[in-house]
Amino acid sequence: MSTDDRLQRFDHHDKEFAKDPYDVYQRMRQTCPVLHSEAHGGFTAVTSYDEVVKVAKDDYTFLSSPGVTFPPIPKRAVLPIEADPPEFFKYRRLLNPWFSPPAASEWEPALRALAQDLLAPHLAAGRIDFIKDFARLLPAIITLRLIGLPESDADDYLHWIQELIHHGHRDIDASVETGLHVYQALAEEMERREEAKDTGTADLLGFLMNTDVEGERLTEEEIMDMVFLLLFGGLDTTAAAIGNALVYLSTHPDARNKLIAEPEIIPLAVEEFLRFEAPVQGLARTVSKECTLGGKTLEADEKIMIFWASANRDETAFDQPDEVILDRQPNRHLAFGVGNHRCLGSNLARLEFRVALEELLAFIPDFSIDLGYAQRWDDLGVVYGWQSLPATFTAKDAVTRTKEGA
């Protein structure tokens, strides 16, 4: 089978693709950046920077409301990521203030304390699983706190959300069941608050339950569909981003030493890691009317996938796109998307990512990940990351940072 034949069956959920997607993206950009694939009943894959931006900024031609994962994960529309203007703005405006730069920065002390609490029990042993013990819990616990869901349910929510993200399109019945667990847990918490006459608005769930929009209360479904987005966007994605960066730093000691010596460049490094291995590789749109893109004609109702991860390696948009340049600037990467639907939680995600790197490098600067035992998620069709990253480091008795500051 020739390369072109294989590209015509390109499937972003393929297990082989998940092992090394970037060579495939490069071939697609070079040969056919707007490519029709026969996989999953047919869709168009968009891989070049300019075309990805063009699609993402045109909400009228390229709809999000029919669903942004392809094939769809079986559940109700998640809001507002799966809404289009003007409805989109109704929900986005409600949520924006909870994730603005100042609102996100208020979480920094709690995040730093939590990062230290998660690392502490492993310091004496000199071994840790960076994903299971750290990267998946840090964003999950903070996200549950922000929403107002019990932190003790973190493992349940992580299990449900990760099943949906990584295997959601495979077994439809199982996924419907998994989704129901989430809706049920949310409904129970809302019911508990109603029975307790708890009208507090200190957390996001309370705010959504007790706020009028255009003179009316939000419905229970609207609230659940927005909270679902925060779980979907807040749990697995940031864990993946942190894990990907740690693998890079474990295999590139010079880069790690540079970040230890110059912690002030960690914010730029965070952006570069997001560019280099975008946790959300791509999202779907549905064509609303016949149009042309990159010289190809797209028909109404056609499904398209726009690949942020590929755009982030486009040689027409970035110098040395396949190299990590820790202090790259400008860095107009698309890991958070672009346009109206740009990631709602980016400011919080960046902060979580930065604090995770700062605390890890301060407490255990000499870690080494055992890639022989590390496990990747076998499907990157939605999120690209590791499921398990066992690591060792020099054991220490006391909880002391090797470097103060940060």
Q: Which residues bind another protein (CB under 8 A)?
A: 57, 93, 96-97, 99-103, 267-268, 271, 329-334, 336, 338-340, 342, 346-347
Closer CB to another protein, residue 55 or residue 338?
A: 338
What backbone phi and psi angles, to 5 degrees, belong to 313? -110, 15
Closer CB to another protein, residue 167 or residue 328?
A: 328
129 Cβ partners below 8 Å, 6+ apart? Answer: 388, 389, 390, 391
Q: What number of other Cβ atoms are within 10 A of residue 381's Cβ?
A: 27
CA pair distance 28, 23, nearest whole angstrom: 9
Ranges of H-type helices in 277-376: 308-311, 346-363
Give the nearest distance from C-beta 322 to another protein in angstroms. 20
Describe the crossing of helices 346-363 and 253-261 by its angle, rounded to 10 degrees.
100
- Cα atoms found within 13 Å of the Cα of residue 371, Cβ hemisphere only: 8
Give the nearest distance from C-beta 333 to another protein in angstroms. 8
Give the nearest distance from C-beta 128 to another protein in angstroms. 31
Give the nearest distance from C-beta 107 to another protein in angstroms. 15
Closer CB to another protein, residue 130 or residue 336?
A: 336
Closer CB to another protein, residue 348 or residue 389?
A: 348
Q: Which of 182, 235, 227, 265 is nearest to 385 (CA)?
A: 235
Give the nearest distance from C-beta 340 to another protein in angstroms. 7
Closer CB to another protein, residue 262 or residue 290?
A: 262
CB 43 within 8 A of CB 305: yes
Please provide the distance, in angstroms rounded to a whole number, between the alpha carbons at the two ends of the chain: 53
CA pair distance 64, 363, nearest whole angstrom: 42
Closer CB to another protein, residue 250 or residue 347?
A: 347
Give the nearest distance from C-beta 307 to another protein in angstroms. 16
Closer CB to another protein, residue 15 or residue 332?
A: 332
Where in 277-396 does DSSP place strands (E)? 282-287, 291-293, 296-298, 303-307, 368-369, 375-376, 386-388, 390-392
Give the nearest distance from C-beta 257 to another protein in angstroms. 24
